[in-house]
A and B are shown apart, each in its own frame.
Chain A
Amino acid sequence: DARVTQTPRHKVTEMGQEVTMRCQPILGHNTVFWYRQTMMQGLELLAYFRNRAPLDDSGMPKDRFSAEMPDATLATLKIQPSEPRDSAVYFCASKLASNTGELFFGEGSRLTVL
């Protein structure tokens, strides 16, 4: 059963702490996205990678957010230092590079920053 796997599912932390979220894309998928979902803004693109190379991270606050793909099976999103306004659900999604609309999401990491 191919699926995108995200950890942790839930994270509560205090302002100023570092938060790392991890994603395992579907095996064979070489394009990976990070999205943030809030009630007010809906789904917002933070960054995406193709073949582990970052192609667009214009949606990320550069001073505190960073995204990497150490290898083809792991993508990470780090927030340091975290702020209450970062509270949201963070989704990872993956697809093949071929030009179709089939984008598959993980279950999300729900972050609460106190």
Chain B
Amino acid sequence: QKEVEQDPGPLSVPEGAIVSLNCTYSNSAFQYFMWYRQYSRKGPELLMYTYSSGNKEDGRFTAQVDKSSKYISLFIRDSQPSDSATYLCACNYGQNFVFGPGTRLSVLP
């Protein structure tokens, strides 16, 4: 079992839909949880990070962490074609970062 699991998709949604992206992890030592967006042939771009359990909102993006179930989510409201990218979750403690394989999202106009 990998430390961080993520459905690779691909996931296709119509413009304006609410998107839900999810990851599970196995190591309870993880303290920080991140979501990265990666466009084709670009580097991963840090979207959001949260510490421990809870929600964090930034514009159309909401990150949720449930440490009791080792489950992290990213919600995208009013999705746009420009949101089409691969989304990677990541978990961290100390200098140890573990990334999920990424979910490829396509938002269709």
Contact = CB atoms under 8 A, between A and B. Distances in A.
Contacts of A33: 97
B41 A45 contact: no
Q: Determine the main DSSP class of A at the interface with B.
A: strand
A70 interface: no
- Assign chain B's interface to a size class: 20 to 34
Given A42-B102, A101-B31, A102-B49, 20 more contacts: A31-B95, A42-B100, A42-B101, A43-B44, A43-B88, A43-B99, A48-B95, A91-B44, A99-B31, A99-B94, A100-B51, A101-B34, A101-B50, A103-B34, A103-B46, A103-B90, A103-B97, A105-B44, A105-B46, A107-B43
Chain A, interface residues (CB within 8 Å), range? 20 to 34
A52 interface: no
Interface of B: 31-34, 36, 41-46, 49-51, 88, 90, 92, 94-95, 97, 99-102
Interface of A: 4, 31, 33, 42-43, 45, 48, 50, 55-56, 91, 99-108, 110
